[in-house]
Structure 1
Amino acid sequence: MSQSADQGTGAATAVAVTGVGLVTPAGADEHSFWEGLCSGHSTARRRPELAGLPVDFACPVDSIDLDEAVGGRSVWRMARFVKLAVVAARQAVADAGLDPAVWDGGRVGVVLGVGVGGVSVLVDNAAKLAASGPEAVSPLLVPMMIPNAAAGEVAIALKAGGPSLAPATACASGATAIAVARDLLLGGSCDVVVAGGAESVLTPLVVTAFARMGALSTRTADPAGASRPFADDRDGFVIGEGAAMLVLEREEAARTRGGRARALLTGAGSSTDAHHPTAPAPDGRGAERAVQAALDQAGWAAGEVDHINAHGTSTPLNDAMETTLISRLFPHRPPVTAPKGVIGHTLAAAGAIEAVATVLTLERSLIPPIANLDALPDAFPLDCVMKEPRHQRVERAVSHSFGFGGHNVALAFQRT
């Protein structure tokens, strides 16, 4: 991904967001997602498949029949995370007013971040192998479980013959995909890129693994109150699932074809903490390098940022680090939100879902509240939006995404 402003700044390197699509625990389309996010109510609830585990709740997608939404005979060969991605991608392309039946597919790319892949399919087939032998293993196991299956299936569904990539930077994967898409457009490799992230790992094995490492909230008596970004009594994240996709085009090309620019992606930066496999560097200096790179590409001073969509996981370490970063780099205290309070942590999909949320904030001059946050700790000098949405015109916003492995990505979006 680009790290500096070598290609120019501001409008000279602006990429237009011309379409969005998403399937989330708060809703399976843009309208219902936005209503759910602005309600400030968590979607976490107990799940029967997790019964008996130390953590038995999650934020699932259950407002849509994915098989029906995908349709056709191909659905039988797709793992759940792939179905989520295909539905979100189709929404985004329709929103952009583009038609895969007539576009030049060789100039259309797909960049789709996935962290884990079809782990439930793998687990199921491992059990079949142990119980019944090799003949019980599905011949489709490999294409269903590999993380790049989502990018490949989206490309097939959209007849997109340009670059098809599947970056895996853990919980930053969706944001990484958007940043890579920007580079493909500005480098001239594509005219259109469908980019985002997808994840679905609400299985007993994965949930137990996150719980065993101490990453998940253990508020089993109050699932809806468990995800509480930046709260003093936060104790871990709530795992979720979902997908979000954005259609990106060069601003001038989008305007020429008569497309609607919903927002401009004016900068993207990335960095690595090089500190610890799972814990963020406490001083936030690695994350700051990513944010500063995005600001440099956009041609903005930090003081020009009007809003921050925080990574805000509800874990003690992440929220403390992010507070340190924000308070140091943005002393003018722009309003902060954190969608994970409502939808949980959707892992590889998080950065893409939150990018869409940032675009909607720019369009609608409305900042969603952070669920379950009634007051900030004294040590957190932030302006967090709490209890109800805040009406405020936002011209420039930054979305943060951080992932295990020390991956940091920041995306800078501007109102059109």
Structure 2
Amino acid sequence: MTKYVIHGGKPLFGEISISGAKNAAVAIIPATLLVDGVCRIENIPQISDVTLILNILQDLGADVRTVNRTTVDIDCSHIHNSKVPEELARKIRASYYLIGALLSRFGSAEVPPPGGCDLGGRPIDQHIKGFVSMGADVDVKGGYIHAKAKGGRLTGTTVYMDIVSVGATMNIMLAATLAEGLTVIENAAKEPHIVDLANFLNSMGADIMGAGTDVIKIRGVERLGGGMYSIIPDQIEAGTYMAAVAAAGGEVLIKNVIPKHLECITAKLVEMGVDVEERDDAVLVRRTGKLTRTNVKTLPYPGFPTDMQPQIAAVLCLAQGTSVVTEGVWDNRYRYVDEFRRMGAQIQVDGKIAVIEGVEKLTGARLRACDLRAGAAMIITALAAQGTSEISNIHHIERGYEDIVRKLSGVGADIRVVITPDEEQSEATAG
């Protein structure tokens, strides 16, 4: 078993550099399926989700070459297969982007249902609605989602999103890029990684307008050519380290960020008494005094991101007074609460609302990461807690955070990776 062991109660001082955005990378890499030529993608984060999606492309027949630690060349010109391997796809939520990309390029796709974190019902009905309205037949059979364009090519149309869905917005953009005619997505999501995907596609020859607004127009083109593109910094990784400084105290310069993308997070931390100083491509985060309560509701961008909800809850556990957190996106995002309670946190959950009564201190405990962002939040509570904490199931965390142990150690955190024999093996040996 591999786990993180953290001796908490130490403020953080120094600098952390943010990696490329996970949520952009896992859509841009499948988007290379649409390109006839070599794509050089820079600022790729070294995380397991990215490794998985690259492995899927290779399995389909793509030529993937590592240029350096954060740069890969991807050539999908010679792929003739539109069936995605089940074993790999079921490990990653973003595998659904392969449906839109393959459907756009080949007029057909066979992709297993997506995997990733279990955050309650995460249907892809809005994705399917978009594909069907563009002229695809979509069916689920034999453990696969089968999509096939009537006549071999999708046709542009107007797609109205019943709910604001990031994944569906990006997937329909992918499907529309090589479709015939104009596709209009109404009530589209506006997240930074949607803009990044549109910018990538446009740089390869696509015709996409309006990304970052609630109406996106995609005029289908015959082909995309190769080129070079650099992925934006990760908004959620940056927000996680901002929250860590808020909880543990100290002063950290967080570099390689787009401060505008962080405004929704910055605003809440400032309300809580944290100093945040914006610079051109960095934010300086400082917390020396007491934290004060606030209320948080997660919303689509530019609202407070659902992917930061567990991390902000970790900080609120130490804030004076009663805070209310309302989850506006997912049904099952509070599974971390029992783990927080082991450390002395006072949290009550009723449906999508959590009421947090701030405590003077948290104490170290043994914790299990139940999903990616919950695991990051447990690191935050452990950094702020008195005593030693152990976090297991760290594979969840490594899906979305590059070198988190090295980055936190670099600002004074006492965190290390410990490998121990599995309990089952130990018992078998003892028997």
TM-score (norm 1): 0.27
Question: Which protein has the larger Cα radius of gyration, Structure 1 or Structure 2?
Answer: 2
Q: Quick one: higher RCO (CA 8 Å, sep 6+), 1 or 2? A: 1
Kindly indicate which of the two structures has a greater share of residues assigned to strand: 2
